[in-house]
Amino acid sequence: MKNRNRIDVLDGFRAIAILAVVLYHYFYRWNDANYPYFGGDFFHYGYKGVMFFFMISGFVICYTLATSKNLITFLKKRFIRLFPSMLIASLATFILIVIFDSQNIFPKSHHIRNLLTSITFLPPNLYNWLFGLKNHFSYLNYSYWSLWPEIQFYILVGSVYFFNEKNFKKNIIIVSILLITILNISQILNLHKITYVERFFNLFNLIKFLPFFLSGAIFYMLYEKVKCKYLNIVLLLFLFVLLNKNMNITDLIIYSAMFLLFSLLIFRPQALWLFKNKILTQIGIASYFLYLIHEYIGVVFIKNYVGYFYPHSYIVPILVIICMILISIMYTKTIEIKFHSFLKKYFLKNK
């Protein structure tokens, strides 16, 4: 458990998730109204890639917990993993938006307060509440919203693990199911519409996405061949049904694909050879930085130059995607690794 090897297939999964999100933002969410290009409707549901990231995190974090001696060390490692890229991406976004966003597409990204908010990983509504202001603080880049559920999951899973390592698998399932049950009961009784209850769930929004994280964690348990194999399979079926309780056919197809990919990883890994492709794995390894920088920076550049290529406007987002991927891979291979090395020496002495 101390010497974990990287699972290439998971990097392939990350690549699929980040490409789905990027295509959603460029071709659907911010498709240019004056110089429209094809693909908008096709990539409408690309944002579901974030949910796939949550499943991957559930698997990976459980996979790496045993490499830390205690909760503080675990959280320090998470900080080292997340903060340098967040700082650099936030600074780059702020500077480039101020310089190039002449159309004022993202006015909230012109305020330094939102830069400072973003690098703390905390949600803007918390700052608005603390300072008694309404809609004053915002994300520098709205894509950053998904990092707060991740942070909450790290705290939850780390606390459960280091409280009782021996019974971690049972305890994390019990705690997660309890939290999921609380949310669903509140929805059934319409308690979530009460102002303070709504604010609570908006602040501690991990609960809303916990079925994805827990699904990834249970797939990890199957991967490790722990006891209670059939019980874990039943739990996965329960979570799958829960995620599809609204009977939305699109969700059913997308979530089925996610669960199928993880099932193949557990039971037929040889079938996932395509996800070990070098290009995909490189994109997957760089997916965190790509996620942080792609949306607002990319959209501003697309908006600034898309008119020059009309009626072949789609060329611009494609070129921006390629540039973003190359920049992210180069950053991850060079700058990020140096930051990690420095911070590990400073924060993890004798760990």
Q: Would 2 be classed as within a structural domain?
A: no
Please, which pLDDT band fits residue 1 given cuts at 50, 70 and 90?
Answer: very low
Rounded to an integer, the average pLDDT of 235-251 is 94
Structure tokens at 159: 């606390």
Q: Strand, coil or helix: what is 167? A: coil
Highest mean pLDDT range out of 36-45, 200-209, 216-225, 320-329? Answer: 320-329
Rounded to an integer, the average pLDDT of 141-161 is 97
Please, which pLDDT band fits residue 225 given cuts at 50, 70 and 90?
Answer: confident
- Phi and psi of 114, rounded to 5°? -75, -25
* Whole-angstrom distance, CA of residue 184 vs CA of residue 192: 9
> Between helices 287-305 and 315-331, what is the axis angle to 10°?
150
Range of the domain at 282: 8-347
Locate the DSSP E strands across the chain. none
Task: Specify the pLDDT at position 5.
Answer: 63
Please, which pLDDT band fits residue 345 given cuts at 50, 70 and 90?
Answer: confident
Please, which pLDDT band fits residue 191 given cuts at 50, 70 and 90?
Answer: confident
Q: How many domains does the chain have?
A: 1
pLDDT in tens, 279-312: 999 999 999 999 999 999 999 999 999 999 999 9
pLDDT in tens, 9-55: 999 999 999 999 999 999 999 998 889 888 778 899 999 999 999 99
Task: Specify the pLDDT at position 276.
Answer: 94
Q: Would 37 be classed as within a structural domain?
A: yes
At residue 350, does pLDDT exceed 80? no
pLDDT in tens, 251-270: 999 999 999 999 999 999 99
Mean of pLDDT over the chain: 93
Task: Specify the pLDDT at position 28.
Answer: 94
At residue 313, does pLDDT exceed 80? yes
User: Residues with Cβ < 8 Å from 72, sequence gap 6 or more?
Assistant: none
Rounded to an integer, the average pLDDT of 218-230 is 86
Structure tokens at 180: 């999921």
Q: Would 1 be classed as within a structural domain?
A: no
User: Residues with Cβ < 8 Å from 107, sequence gap 6 or more?
Assistant: none
Q: Would 240 be classed as within a structural domain?
A: yes
At residue 2, does pLDDT exceed 50? no
Q: How many degrees, rounded to 5, is the angle at CA 125 between CA 121 and CA 130?
A: 95
Q: Would 3 be classed as within a structural domain?
A: no
Structure tokens at 252: 């059913």
Task: Specify the pLDDT at position 192.
Answer: 77
- Phi and psi of 309, rounded to 5°? -110, -5
Rounded to an integer, the average pLDDT of 108-122 is 94
User: Residues with Cβ < 8 Å from 112, sequence gap 6 or more?
Assistant: 94
Task: Specify the pLDDT at position 348.
Answer: 82
Q: How many CB atoms lie within 10 A of CB 159?
A: 15
* Whole-angstrom distance, CA of residue 241 vs CA of residue 211: 10
